[in-house]
Each structure stands twice: as C-alpha cells, then as structure tokens.
Amino acid sequence: MNRSVIITCAVTGSGDSTGRSPEVPVTPAEIAASALDAAAAGAAIVHCHVRDLETGRGTRTVELYEEVVERIRAENTEIIVNLTAGMGGDLNVGPDGDPMSWQDGTDLVGGLERLAHVEAIRPEICSMDCGSLNFGDDNEVYVSTPAMLRIMAEKVRELGVRPELEIFDTGNLWFAETLIAEGLVEAPYWLQLCLSIPYGTPMDVGILQAMVHRLPPEAEFTSFGLGAMQMPMVAQSVMLGGHVRVGLEDNLYLERGVLATNAQLVEKAVKIIELVGATVQSPTEARQTLGLG
C-alpha cells in the first residue's frame, strides 16, 4: 500500500465531452480556473490539454497552451503542470473499399511537432503515449511508433522535462521498459497505467497487479479508470502502491446522474485516500517524490 499519495487531475482532455457536461472547461481561462480549483482541492499535478475555441475539439495550438500555463502560474507557482504530448497521433482510416482515404479528425504529425508546445513552455511533466492503439469501435487508430517515441524521449530529456509514460496495454509497458533500458528516460520513472480505454487494458485488477509487478524499483506509478470506475481505481491504485488520477478527462460524474467539477472529483479522491489510511502529497512533496527539484 502507498501511504503518501500524489493526486493528478486530468482537467479537460480532448474527447467529445463538452456537449455532455457544461463543467468541461474549453477556453484557456476556464481550463486554468478549473486546474486551480483542483489544486486547491488537493491535486499536486494538473494534466492539461487545450481545446479549439470554436469547435471545442482538442488542438495542438501552442498559444493556447501558453495562455493556460501563464494563467495557472499567475495564481499558483507550486502546482506541477503536466501537458499532454499525445495530440497529433490521430488517424481515421477510410472505408473498407478505400482505407487510404483519411477521414475527418485525422491529425497525424511526427514526434517533434507533437512537442512544439512542450519546447516553448517547458512544463515540469509531459505525457508520452507509449504505443499505438485501436481506439473505439470504428476506424480510429492512435499512432505512436517506436521511432517517434525515441525521438520524443530524446527531445524531452534535452528539454529537462519529466516524461509521464502512458501505458495503455502490456506492449506499451514493454516499450517503456525498453526506453528505460536504452537510457532515454531518467529515474525516477513516472508511469501512468491506463485501464478501461477501448481497446487497451481492460478493467481488471489482476492485470493491473501484473503490470505493477513488472515496474522497475525506481518507478512511481499512477493509474486510472474511466467513468464509474474512476473512484474504485483510486482505492485500487493506492492499495497496489501507486498514486491516483481523477478528473473530467476520464469521468463526468460525481455519482449517478450528478455532473461533477474537477474540484469535486479531487475532493472525493482525497476522502477515499484518507479513509484507507493514507495521506495526500502537497505539490512540494510530489516534486521531491518525482525528482522535479
């Protein structure tokens, strides 16, 4: 069991959730305000995407990331900022008779271009999705190849940013281990074990435990589940020795039929953590745990 827990709040994500809850922040001002509220509720890390101001869809626009971080830092210099580097990997394959006819939503760029905002801002952490994945039930694929990831890992190390290695399946974990073995990632390693995303790792505590057992001793891990499994995963992750992630990127509800804010989700996670006998790390403590200086 982990007795001292880091909470990450995934503030908005890039999924099609803005039409399902008015609490999902869209503008930089909304994203920053929600991140600050989450920090006040107990989150040590805020994980941020940005969204197009007209469509609400996820975007890679550097200026939007800069505004979000500037607004956060103007109010709170202690909270750890974790920016996604996962945008730019979306491939929507065409119909069966013409699969090379890329469909709406395709946004596929190289590893360095995915890091443009990270290079401009140099946050404490950025996420790196450690493999490709069939995403959902149609023709959408998330593409993150070994060659791209090696390029990204080298660049992130050069920038002095801590990578959060996103693990969506056991093969992703294998490749994360490879990056570590090749010296492209420095200890302490920070891994995110992502469960219940179709079609990655299913919601199965046995599989989660097996993945945890493979982690090197210098690793710190966090994990999450989607929707109704978000809060059960808080307890499961802590009991397996890990940290936790909650937030509107992964779950819109506080309880059945009750839409949540990010701050409310963090508050509920704090309560669960304390009820099982653990404490919540402050941003200063989390910086020490993750070697962020």
Alpha-carbon Rg of the chain, whole angstroms? 18
Q: What is the pLDDT of residues 183-214, one digit of tens each?
A: 999 999 999 999 999 899 999 999 999 999 99
Q: Is the pLDDT of residue 259 over 80?
A: yes
293, with CB counted inside 10 A (0-12, 13-18, 19+), is exposed
Q: What is the pLDDT of residues 19-78, one digit of tens each?
A: 999 999 999 999 999 999 999 999 999 999 999 999 999 999 999 999 999 999 999 999
The tally of domains found in the chain comes to 1
Domain of 104, in residue numbers: 4-289
The CATH code of the domain that includes 193 is: 3.20.20.70
State the Cα angle at 19 between 16 and 25, rounded to 5°. 80
Average pLDDT, integer, range 232-247: 97
Q: What is the pLDDT of residues 149-182, one digit of tens each?
A: 999 999 999 999 999 999 999 999 999 999 999 9
Q: Is the pLDDT of residue 293 over 80?
A: no
Percent of the chain with pLDDT over 90: 96
Q: What is the pLDDT of residues 118-157, one digit of tens each?
A: 999 999 999 999 999 998 889 999 999 999 999 999 999 9
- The structure's pTM equals 0.96
Q: What is the pLDDT of residues 216-233, one digit of tens each?
A: 999 999 999 999 999 999
The whole-number pLDDT of residue 126 equals 98
The whole-number pLDDT of residue 135 equals 86
The whole-number pLDDT of residue 210 equals 96
Interatomic CA distance for residues 69 and 13, integer angstroms: 15
Q: Is the pLDDT of residue 244 over 90?
A: yes
**What is the band of 283 on the pLDDT scale with cuts at 50, 70, 90?**
very high
Interatomic CA distance for residues 131 and 44, integer angstroms: 27
